[in-house]
Amino acid sequence: MRKIELSYSLSAQRPERAAHPALLRNPMMDVLHAVRERGSISAAARQLGLSYRHVWGQLKEWESQLGQELILWERGQAAQLSPFGQRLLMAERLAQARLGPQMESLRAELERAFSRAFEQPAGGAASEVLTLYASHDHALTELQEMAAGIDPEQGSKPSGLHLDIRLCGSVDAIRALNEGRCLLAGFHTQPFADAASLSARTYRPLLRPGTHKIIGFARRSQGLMVAPGNPLRLHDMADVARLQARFVNRGRGTGTRLLLDELMAQAGLDAIDIAGFDHVESSHAAVAHAVASGDADVGLGTEYAARSQGLGFVPLTEERYLLVCLKSALDTPGVQRLLALLRSPRWQARLNDIPGYASDHSGEVAAMKRLLPWWT
């Protein structure tokens, strides 16, 4: 078993977004990925802004430490990863995908802690910390960054709001709200499901009209994440069952698992009809990685996760991602700052730029039946 040590860096501003972002950087994995993508050590060195000699020396040092070849290379031929190098890179990328939500939460917590050190001790309004239990969602991460003033394109100033996001499934998030562990919860659901649907029957007992208010956040596209070009020609869950495509699932308590159960019920399918139904991953990114790596043929998830991994995407439904707030907390400074941010044109423009997302009643405080038509 190899020893892992974690580290982080502190800079004045966030670096430019990479084409294949990794939440936790590792120089060896960056080099291996660049070699695989560029096909030569020199091109990989240029991509990383390093000298050929430096990258070559690092590769030899890493091979000596690990006791195995990382690169197969002959003069005049394209460099490629050794079988060991490929396994190493894929294992690291899978770990990143599985742990992505937790690492995002850890990074945000560190940024929040350090931001307080940079705040002026006098003058101006104090920053507000707002705890939110929520289903993992990329737009929430973008909102968290904008609230903290991390906007590389516009150099925005902090909003005075720190979103403390605790990641869990949609059902568990509302339960956390009901148990007094937070003021806000985030969940997603199909807006036009009928009152007898599984979604309605699951969420209705958890939502309390006299206690809760719904806040609009975003609309996003969910569907089948498939290999580029959709070689199996999958168009719905019935195709997945008929062709016995290898499926990768999400865990119980997540909104996406609830959506899957709904889609399967509509198609008259049972768990036994789906090959890989018990193959469970912890995030949209991990499901996408399983498909991209060939461990599965198809999974259910967001369009953003599919596009981020270069996968094909078959849209099945649009759903609303909503926030539930304690009615008594609506007038608190933290919630008021959040509502102002959600309603701002700058945030809504940023949301609309995310693949598979659109602004939808963003920042609107509404009764249950306004944003949940199945509510009765």
- List of residues 6+ apart from 310 with CB closer than 8 A: 228, 292
Distance (Å, rounded) from C-alpha 133 to C-alpha 177?
A: 8
Which domains are assigned to the chain?
27-93 (1.10.10.10), 127-371 (3.40.190.290)
- Note the Cα 259 to chain centre separation in Å: 17
Each of the 376 residues of the chain gets a pLDDT tens digit; together they read 566 777 767 665 555 544 445 567 788 888 888 888 888 888 888 888 888 888 888 888 888 888 888 888 776 677 888 888 888 888 887 777 777 767 776 776 676 666 666 665 444 555 788 999 998 899 998 998 888 775 545 455 666 788 888 888 899 999 999 999 999 999 999 877 788 888 889 999 999 988 999 999 999 999 999 999 999 999 999 999 999 999 999 988 888 999 999 999 999 999 999 999 999 998 898 899 899 989 999 999 999 999 998 999 999 999 999 999 999 999 999 999 999 999 999 999 999 999 999 999 999 999 888 888 888 7
What's this model's pTM, rounded to 2 decimal places?
Answer: 0.74
CA distance 69 to 71: 6
Alpha-carbon distances of 103 from 132, 179, 226, 291, 292, rounded to whole Å: 16, 25, 26, 22, 21
In 3D, which of 295, 137, 286 has the Cα closest to residue 221?
A: 137
Whole-angstrom CA distances from 20 to 29, 33, 126 are 12, 9, 36
Give the pair of three-digit tokens for residue 323.
């926030």
